[in-house]
């Protein structure tokens, strides 16, 4: 195992890229389930469900009541000012990096994250027509997010690893995710309207995102 000194972020066959076919307007299209302009932070807004149970992330007290519905959790590495997202079931288990351990998430929804080269325009197209999500995921170049410490695909962002290098969160970037039980797929967009100096925790630990998911 080789690690860089600095946490950032199964179906190893998917790869989302900006080479997906152009979208066309479909009057019969079904919009994706959408969550626009939501804010995550590691304390009061760290847990979220994309099934429509909530409209904004909640704290651990609220999340424990519906832990079986949680599919996305937010993490933050203060040592390197690195925000990230971690599969809740992975978070319920002990790993070499154990700072995010929450045993009560053991019955949550297993989620896998994917690296993509999708654009904001493609994200918006899929928001209007959820069938585009399947089109993007069918692209031959999509891969699960690599990680050395946590299971492959379970983490994006956070403290980075090397060999293979994990993913860092970046403004304007689009990441894919999949709930492995239901098979529902979605996209997560890191908005451009972050606090000045993001992701430095001295300024703010907030990360603003848009999320869409198949109904």
Q: Which pairing describes strands 72-77 and 47-48: parallel, antiparallel, or unpaired?
A: antiparallel
Span 192-213, average pLDDT: 97
Cα 39 from Cα 182, distance rounded (Å) = 25
User: By percentage, how much of the chain surpasses pLDDT 70?
Assistant: 88
Indicate whether 7 pLDDT > 90. no
Residue 79 and residue 159 in contact, taking contact as beta carbons nearer than 8 Å: yes
Indicate whether 18 pLDDT > 80. no
Range with lowest mean pLDDT among 57-71, 116-130, 133-147, 199-213? 133-147
- Which carries the bigger pLDDT value, residue 140 or residue 101? 101
- Scanning the structure block, which residue is given the tokens 């001295």? 202
Query: What's the DSSP call for residue 182?
Result: T
pLDDT-derived band at 140 (thresholds 50, 70, 90) equals: confident
Span 153-162, average pLDDT: 97
Closest of 5, 45, 10, 13 to residue 180, by C-alpha: 10
CA 166 to chain centre: 13
Cα 44 from Cα 128, distance rounded (Å) = 30
What pLDDT score was predicted for residue 26? 76
Indicate whether 127 pLDDT > 70. yes
Cα dihedral 39, 172, 137, 14 in deg (nearest 10): -100
What pLDDT score was predicted for residue 25? 61
What pLDDT score was predicted for residue 3? 43
- Which carries the bigger pLDDT value, residue 97 or residue 20? 97
Span 62-73, average pLDDT: 98
pLDDT-derived band at 24 (thresholds 50, 70, 90) equals: low
* pTM recorded for the entire structure: 0.88
Strand partners, 177: 113, 186
Query: What strands, in cross-sheet order, belong to the sheet with 143-144?
Result: 33-40, 207-213, 185-190, 174-179, 111-115, 143-144
Indicate whether 112 pLDDT > 70. yes
Closest of 188, 196, 186 to residue 40, by C-alpha: 188
Structure tokens given for 142: 């999509």
Cα 121 from Cα 90, distance rounded (Å) = 32
């Amino acid at each position: 195992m080789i690690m860089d000194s600095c946490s950032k972020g199964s179906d190893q066959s998917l790869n989302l890229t900006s080479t997906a076919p152009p979208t066309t307007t479909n009057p019969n299209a079904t919009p994706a389930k959408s969550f626009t302009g939501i804010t995550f932070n590691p304390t009061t807004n760290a847990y979220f469900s994309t099934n429509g149970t909530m409209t904004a992330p909640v704290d651990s007290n609220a999340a424990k009541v519906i832990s079986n519905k949680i599919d996305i959790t937010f993490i933050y590495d203060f040592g390197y000012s690195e925000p990230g997202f971690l599969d809740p079931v992975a978070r319920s288990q002990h790993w070499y990096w154990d700072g995010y351990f929450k045993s009560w998430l053991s019955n949550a929804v297993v989620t896998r994250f994917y690296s993509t080269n999708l654009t904001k325009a493609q994200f918006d197209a899929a928001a209007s027509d959820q069938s585009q999500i399947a089109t993007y995921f069918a692209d031959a170049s999509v891969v699960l997010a690599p990680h050395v410490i946590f299971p492959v695909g379970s983490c994006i962002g956070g403290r980075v690893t090397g060999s293979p290098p994990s993913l860092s969160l970046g403004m304007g970037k689009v990441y894919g995710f999949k709930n492995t039980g239901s098979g529902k797929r979605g996209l997560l967009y890191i908005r451009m309207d972050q606090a000045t100096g993001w992701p430095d925790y001295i300024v703010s630990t907030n990360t603003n995102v848009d999320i869409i998911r198949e109904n």
